[in-house]
Amino acid sequence: MKILTKIAFGGGCHWCTEAVFQSLLGVLKVEQGFVASTDENDTFSEAVIVHFDASKISIAVLIEIHLHTHKSTVNHSMRHKYRSAIYTFSEAQTNTVKSQLELLQFQFKNKIITQVLPFESFKASRVQIQNYYYNNPKKPFCERFINPKLQTLLEKFSKYTNQNKLKHLHNESRETKYPEHQGS
C-alpha cells in the first residue's frame, strides 16, 4: 500500500539536491526551487520538495542520504543561499526528523548543523533549469559537482538507488578526482 508524503531539503545547490533525490527508488517527484521558513529563516534559500512513497523509502533513509550528500557539518559563508535544513510539514514530522538527526550524529566527526525548520513557502525555479542534471549530465558543473554526490549514492545507498538512472556512472571510475562535495 502506497504511503504518499513529502518533505523538503536544503543544503547545497538545488541542482545537486534535485539530482540526488530524483535518483532514488520510491521518490515520485522532486520540486526544485527556493524554500522559506519562519522568523530568522524567512528568506528563500535553495531547496527541493521531495514527494515520496514511505512504503518504499523511509524518511530516515532520505535524511541520512541528505546528510551524506551535502556539507551538513560545515557552516560556510554561503549558508544564507544554501541553508542546511530539513523543512517539515507537521509537528509529527518535526519530531521524527529531530530524532533521526540525533541518531545519525555518530556517523559524522563534526557536529551536524542541519536545521529542522517548519516549511512556510516555496517558489519554483524557472522551468528551463528544472531537472537540470538529467537534462545536462555532460555539462562541466554536473560532472564536477553532481556526479560525486551520485557516486556516494551508488557506494553507500545502492539498494535505494535507481540503477537505470545512474547506469552512465557505472562505467566511470568509482574514485573521482574531485574533493568531496565541493561547492555545497
pLDDT at 183 over 50: no
**Rounded CA separation 75/24 (Å):** 27
Share the mean pLDDT of the chain: 92
Residue with cell 554561503: 78
Which of left, alpha, beta for 70 (phi over 0: left; psi -120 to 50: alpha)? Answer: beta
CB-CB contact of 91 with 116 (8 Å): no
CB-CB contact of 35 with 55 (8 Å): no
Span 101-145, pLDDT tens digits: 999 999 999 999 999 999 999 999 999 999 999 999 999 999 999
Residue with cell 535524511: 63
pLDDT of residue 30: 98
- 100 DSSP 8-state letter: H
Residue predicted with more confidence, 146 or 183: 146
Average pLDDT rounded to a whole number, residues 86-105: 98
Average pLDDT rounded to a whole number, residues 27-42: 97
- Residue 45's pLDDT band (cuts 50, 70, 90): very high
Span 153-170, pLDDT tens digits: 999 999 999 999 998 887
pLDDT of residue 171: 62
What percentage of the chain has pLDDT greater than the value 70? 92
pTM of the complete model:
0.91
